[in-house]
Structure 1
Amino acid sequence: MKKTFIAIEGPIGVGKSSLTHKLSQTYHFYEENEIIDENPFLSNFYDDISTWSFQTEMFFLCNRYKQFQDIEHINSGVVSDYHIYKNKIFASNTLSQDEFDKFSRIYNILTEDLEMPNVIIFLDADLNVLKSRIAKRNRSFEHHIEDDYLLNLKRDYQRFYESMKSSETQVIRIDTTNLDFVNNDADYQQILNLVEPLIGGYKHE
């Protein structure tokens, strides 16, 4: 029987890392977090997306590929704050068509034999809520994120969710606009009630 491998996805600022940590603590799953701050191109990327997008996306892809490789050797359940497919979502919004075609070929080669998540939790929130959460965490390189960029990500994640509903992967979408699952136990319990049927009978104590 394959281990439970949960990926939490959604646009920037939606709460992926926070929910990943809480679920890992609740279920005693291995917690996988994507590498953000170590990307040397990220600050330049938000200042000039067209110039720095390919370098930025390739750095993320290579790191996420290595992390997903390492996950294959973990026997316990895993909860990750990203799905490697997010590389294609972000790349489609930042790369030229020629660059995206090249990037997609590399992505397909790297991910061909990777173990993929069998449960995906899609988080979403209204634009103003996303902007508020991004401002609250105060990452300097995120100060210049434009509304259109966030709206495009929301749209593309919705498309990803719709495409995954027809697959064998367990998927759920949760609107967190009016939820504070970090500070409100009732809101977190509401999420647990939605997640537990997806993960094969795991119960929290």
Structure 2
Amino acid sequence: MKKPFIAVEGPIGVGKSSLADKLSQSYNYYHEKEIVNENPFLSDFYEDISKWSFQTEMFFLCNRYKQFQDIATLHSGIVSDYHIYKNKIFAHNTLTHTEYNKFSRIYDILTEDLEMPNIIIFLDADLEVLKARIAHRNRSFEHQIEDNYLLNLKRDYNAYYQSLKNDGERVMRIDTTHLDFVKHNDDYQYILNLLQSLIGGKIHE
């Protein structure tokens, strides 16, 4: 049986890293953390998406590729706060048609032999909740994110979830609009109960 490899996904500000961190502690899995602040193009990207999108997306793709390579050698369970496929979701919303075609070919080459997550948790929330959470974490480069950008990400994540669900993959979607699993243990326990049949495994006390 393959080791559990969980990816937590969803639009910006939905709580992916927070949930991945809590799940890694509950199940005693390795936590694979997404590299964000280290991207040197990110601030420029949010100021001028059309100018800096290709550099930004290529930086993320190369780093995530290397991270997925490294964690493939682990024997323990893994919970990651991203799926490398998110590169295609974000690139689809930021690159021109020509750039996206080039990017997609590079993505396919890099990922053709990577071990991919076998369990994917999709988090979602209403737009106003996402905006409030983004404002609360107060990353300077995220202050300029536009509503339409977030709405497009929500749309594309939901489409990806539906496609995986239709293919019979082990996926689950959780609306966190009225949940605060960081501050309220009851909300976190609710999520754990939802995931137990999907993830299985023993919760680490």
- In which range does the TM-score fall when normalised by the shorter chain? over 0.9
Name the SS for the 1:161 alignment partner.
Answer: helix
Aligned to 2:165: 165
Task: Note if contact 2:27-2:201 (Cα within 8 Å) is conserved in structure 1.
Answer: no
Task: Note if contact 1:9-1:16 (Cα within 8 Å) is conserved in structure 2.
Answer: yes
Deviation at 1:71, TM superposition (A): 1.1
Name the SS for the 2:79 alignment partner.
Answer: strand
> Over aligned residues, Cα RMSD in angstroms?
0.8
Deviation at 1:203, TM superposition (A): 3.6
* 1:85-107 deviations in Å (ceiling 9; x for gaps): 00000000000000000000000
Flag structure 2 segments of 5+ consecutive residues without an equivalent: none
Whole-angstrom CA distance in 1 between matches of 2:50 and 2:80: 29
Task: Note if contact 1:8-1:20 (Cα within 8 Å) is conserved in structure 2.
Answer: yes
Amino acid at match of 1:88: K
Whole-angstrom CA distance in 2 between matches of 1:142 and 1:100: 23
1:169–1:71 distance in 2 versus 1, CA, 3 Å:
farther
Aligned to 1:45: 45
Aligned to 1:31: 31
Name the SS for the 2:91 alignment partner.
Answer: helix
Deviation at 1:204, TM superposition (A): 4.5
Whole-angstrom CA distance in 2 between matches of 1:169 and 1:59: 28
Residues 64-103 of structure 1 correspond to what in structure 2 (within 5 A)? 64-103=64-103
Deviation at 1:168, TM superposition (A): 4.4
Aligned to 2:14: 14
Task: Note if contact 1:196-1:203 (Cα within 8 Å) is conserved in structure 2.
Answer: no
Whole-angstrom CA distance in 1 between matches of 2:175 and 2:202: 23
Whole-angstrom CA distance in 2 between matches of 1:202 and 1:161: 26
Deviation at 1:138, TM superposition (A): 0.2
Whole-angstrom CA distance in 2 between matches of 1:65 and 1:198: 26
Deviation at 1:181, TM superposition (A): 0.2
Task: Note if contact 2:5-2:79 (Cα within 8 Å) is conserved in structure 1.
Answer: yes
Amino acid at match of 2:146: E
After TM superposition, where is structure 1 displaced by more than 4 Å over at least 4 residues in a row?
none
Whole-angstrom CA distance in 2 between matches of 1:120 and 1:146: 27
Is 2:111 the partner of 1:111? yes
Task: Note if contact 2:28-2:204 (Cα within 8 Å) is conserved in structure 1.
Answer: no
* 1:40-79 deviations in Å (ceiling 9; x for gaps): 0000000000000000000000000000001100100000
TM-score (norm 1): 0.98
Whole-angstrom CA distance in 2 between matches of 1:104 and 1:165: 22
Deviation at 1:169, TM superposition (A): 2.6
Is 2:123 the partner of 1:123? yes
Task: Note if contact 1:196-1:202 (Cα within 8 Å) is conserved in structure 2.
Answer: no
* 1:149-196 deviations in Å (ceiling 9; x for gaps): 000000000000001102343100000000000010100000000111
Report % sequence identity: 74
Is 2:65 the partner of 1:62? no
Whole-angstrom CA distance in 2 between matches of 1:35 and 1:49: 19
Deviation at 1:200, TM superposition (A): 3.2
Name the SS for the 1:136 alignment partner.
Answer: helix
Task: Note if contact 2:64-2:84 (Cα within 8 Å) is conserved in structure 1.
Answer: yes
Flag structure 1 segments of 5+ consecutive residues without an equivalent: none
